[in-house]
Amino acid sequence: MPTLIERDRDPVASFPYPLRQALGQRPSPPPYNGTEQEPGNELKFPANFLFGAATAAYQIEGAWNVDGKGPSVWDTLTHTHPELVVDGATGDRAADSYRLYRSDVEALGKVGFNYYRFSIAWSRLLPRGDQSSLNQGAVRYYNALINELLAHGIEPVVTMLHYDLPQYLQNLGGFASPLIVKVWITHNEPYDFCVEGYGTGSTGPLVYATGVGEYLCAHHVLLSHAAAYQLYKERYRSQQGGKIGITLSGRYYYPATNVTPYDTVERALLFQIGWFAEPLFGEDGNYPAVMVDEIGNNSALERRSHSRLPSFTSAERLLVRGSADFFAYNYYSSRLVDLDRAEYNTAEPPAWRRDARILQSVDPGWSRAKSTWLYVVPEGLRGVLNWFRRRYRNPTVLITENGYSDDGQLDDAARIDYYARHLNALLTAIAVDGCNVAGFTAWSIVDNFEWLRGYSEKFGLFYVNFSDPQLQRVPKASADFMRRVISTRTIPAH
């Protein structure tokens, strides 16, 4: 796989890879010495801070059965259960980036983005999930995309799996099976696809195994990531000098009431983000103690012979701990939290939600995007970055997604406001608090297929008319706003 990303060709040899360099640097002391901004003292993003935009293969590529591509779990879901997608849509065509990738790169260049985070459709590259099924048509496509990026001075940042697991591997058990750890991959948002895909069964691959499946999924995601990291370290790092990460997701939390203890906030953060961050960045390479204790106790009440939360061996803990060169994180929203104090009822099916015992709510003063889950809480980004700083010894963080949904209008003032407020929170976390953040990635460069919401919600900086045969990319007002942020390294008035 690494030879797909870096080849001995002139564009690669001369490209400086600034993000790779930024991810390897330690932070300087905050210039404002831990104090808030003084009047007339304009904060600026550091000189080595980088900006990018992101997409995911299934959401933009289309060409779902072209040039040897096999079906993914999302092809199966949208074709066999169209009723689950709000508008009955599929990603069969999407933004047709398989054919129009040059238009995507042109859009990135117009804004001035430094890097592009895209995902490789594993069902296109390895339809059966192993090297024997390597699809040369996919190799040509991704090489062409990477060369186009490099020719425009844009650094490729590759996610090896963004939800679209090959259906062939899912038939073997998917992420609930240990077979998956043999494959070289990194992951996007394992909390989301494990809980909803293998626990509640509400999204692809539609596996309902509540209270068990989500923990098996998470366990094998971590083991597969660690195995990929170790493979890269042993075979490729000395020649390529690359960096490996895994993108985590999760909300920041605030006490729901004046009497909600901070322990409840900490519990919520550990059950969601810490579930994956503790094994990777914590002291001993294990799950959070609160998860081990709670799930173990609940499993005992259910008269199980062992905990529903799998255990790492000593060797696995050593393999997982430290198997990320940077902390990749997607931030969109936050919640209020309180503790569910009801007695555990063994008559009900087990679930992550019941193990966590966190009651989430929203502040009525928070505004909301088109997405029902996306409440605008920019201060939560500063809060969670400081939690990373305190708990994990100020790791190098890359914000790999942040964005706002609407109806797709070109005059997207609400999206501009969302980005301005979140970038202010981020800049304060860097300049005032001393958080070590290397870059910020906007979701998304173009409107795309938004999973179970189909095309009813739009996140793009560029508008795409999906009824137009040409699928032209048209810049929204937010694209110009981000262009000004990048060119001035400040947050302009809006």
**Which residue in 189, 214, 278, 294 is the catalytic one?**
189
Place of tokens 């009497």: 259
Strand pairing category for 437-443 and 155-159: unpaired
Q: Is 189 a catalytic residue?
A: yes
Active site residue 379: no
CB 233 within 8 A of CB 223: no
Backbone CA torsion sign across 88, 91, 92, 95: positive
Residue appearing with tokens 């990194």: 186
Which of 484, 439, 485 minimizes the C-alpha distance to 50? Answer: 439
Token pair listed for 417: 């406001």
Instruction: Measure Cα distances from 163 to 16, 155, 190, 468 in Å.
Output: 30, 23, 9, 27
Cα dihedral sign, 6-12-13-16: negative
DSSP string, 190-249: HHHHHIIIIIS--STT----TTTHHHHHHHHHHHHHHHHHHHHHHHTHHHH------EEE
Token pair for 152: 């425009």
- 127 C-beta neighbours (distance < 10 Å), count: 22
Query: What is the maximum alpha-carbon separation in the chain?
Result: 64
Handedness of CA 188, 190, 193, 196 (dihedral sign): negative
- Cα–Cα distance between 44 and 427 in angstroms, integer? 7
End-to-end CA distance of the chain: 43
Q: What is the DSSP string of 339-364?
A: E--SPP-TTSPP-HHHHHTEEEE--T
Residue 181 contacts residue 220 (beta carbons within 8 Å) = yes
Nearest Cα to Cα of residue 91 among 66, 116, 115: 66
Q: Which residue in 6, 401, 450, 457 is the catalytic one? A: 401
Q: What is the rounded distance in angstroms from the CA atom of residue 212 to the CA atom of residue 355?
A: 11
Q: Which residues are known to be catalytic? A: 189, 401
